Amino acid sequence: MDRTNENQARLDWALEIACEAGNVTLQHFRQPTLEVERKGDDSPVTIADKAAENLLRERISERFPDDAIIGEEHGQTAGTSGFTWVLDPIDGTKSFIHGIPLYATLIGVLYGDPADASSGTPEVGVIRAPALDEIAYARRGGGAWHQRGSEAPQQAKVAQKTELSDALMLTSEVGSFRKRKSGQGMAAYLELDEKVRLARTWGDAYGYLMVATGQADVMFDPEMNLWDAAALQPVIEEAGGVFNDWQGTPTVHSGEAVAANASLMPAVLESLKGR
């Protein structure tokens, strides 16, 4: 099997269906009648999340019926091909609910043992911000690309800052650092906050898109699910950046993440490791 061609076919399809799912979310965005439910972990979910994931699952099954699917809202569907699609129909549901356009549809594709679909390595990633009409995407070995509206795609590259004192650092939600099991999450955040030039919460997947396109320098989260992370690693790495957990391991399976360029990452990890 030629994995390059297989990955490209899945990337092409992911780009198409990410736009379709994004359009579903826009039908509900900033609508006063939007109803919000609470899941078992108290995180919010809306009809837009569920409808967008349903569409993605249907479209993937049409084109790649032997692939597995893992989605935030509807669980796991087994497959036999070794490829697993990992879906987050609205990454940043809290932003979506409050009418903030910094939410994204995430589509990642892993490859690995079909008997353990969730353990594979990310091969393809798409970050689609529907309300901004912006997208970043990549496949292994194919570079990372960024497009706004009808503009031609441009190659995405991380910024080349070398000092944290010059860096823009992003995260999704400062309060989430208090929930860190080690009890040291907030200390890590505050230490980095002191070291960087500017810290903001332009977070969730859009923060990683900003790092991949050189608009921000560091993005990190103390809590990540597989569907939050799977699409991000290929985009960051193909843009020339580093994506790993707080201990420095390049993985989407640790339940945490940090993205930066190679020059900044050692200084970031110095504040994160062990915490």
In a shared domain, residues 168 and 144? no
Q: Is 17 annotated as a binding residue?
A: no
What average pLDDT score do residues 104-113 get? 97
CA 72/CA 88 separation, integer angstroms: 6
CA gap 218, 271 in Å, rounded: 13
Q: Is 72 annotated as a binding residue?
A: yes
Is the pTM higher than 0.85? yes
Spatial separation of the C-alpha atoms in residues 122 and 14, rounded to whole Å: 14
Residue 260 has pLDDT above 90, yes or no: yes
91 is in an annotated binding site: yes
Higher pLDDT: 168 or 74? It is 168
Looking at the structure, do residues 38 and 151 belong to the same domain, yes or no? yes
For strands 198-200 and 168-170, give the pairing.
parallel
- What CA–CA distances, in Å, run from 224 to 10, 33, 94, 229? 24, 29, 15, 7
Is 204 labelled a binding residue?
Answer: no
Exposure of 93 by Cβ count < 10 A (0-12 exposed, 13-18 middle, 19+ buried)? buried
**Judgement on whether residues 81 and 212 belong to the same structural domain of the protein:** no
Whether 37 and 94 map to the same domain: the answer is: yes
Same domain? 53 vs 84: yes
What is residue 173's predicted lDDT score, i.e. its pLDDT?
95
pLDDT tens-digit readout, 175-204: 999 998 888 999 999 999 999 999 999 999
Percent of the chain with pLDDT over 90: 91
For residue 94, what are the domain limits?
Answer: 3-155
Cβ(101)–Cβ(132) below 8 Å: yes
CATH number at residue 121: 3.30.540.10
Closest by CA to 86, choosing from 228, 244, 257, 258, is 228
CATH number, domain containing residue 215? 3.40.190.80
**Tally of structural domains, the chain:** 2
Domain identity same for 191 and 139: no
Greatest Cα pair distance, the chain, in angstroms, is 50
Domain boundary among 134, 155, 176: 155
Residue 1: predicted pLDDT = 63
- Which residue among 155, 184, 202 closes a domain? 155
Other CB atoms within 10 Å distance of the CB of residue 11 = 23
Model confidence band, residue 244 (pLDDT cutoffs 50, 70, 90): very high
89-103 residue pLDDT tens? 999 999 999 999 999
3-state secondary structure the chain: CCHHHHHHHHHHHHHHHHHHHHHHHHCCCCCCCCCEEECCCCCEEEHHHHHHHHHHHHHHHHHCCCCEEEECCCEEECCCCCEEEEEEEEECHHHHHCCCCCCEEEEEEEECCHHHHHHCEEEEEEEEEHHHCEEEEEECCCCEEEEECCCCCEECCCCCCCCHHHCEEECCCHHHHHHCCCCCHHHHHHHHHHHCCEEECCCCHHHHHHHHCCCCCEEEECCCCHHHHCCHHHHHHHCCCEEECCCCCCCCCCCCEEEECCCCHHHHHHHHCCC
Query: Tens of pLDDT along 200-230?
Result: 999 999 999 999 999 999 999 999 999 999 9
Q: What are the φ and ψ backbone dihedral angles of 145, each rounded to 5 degrees?
A: -135, 150
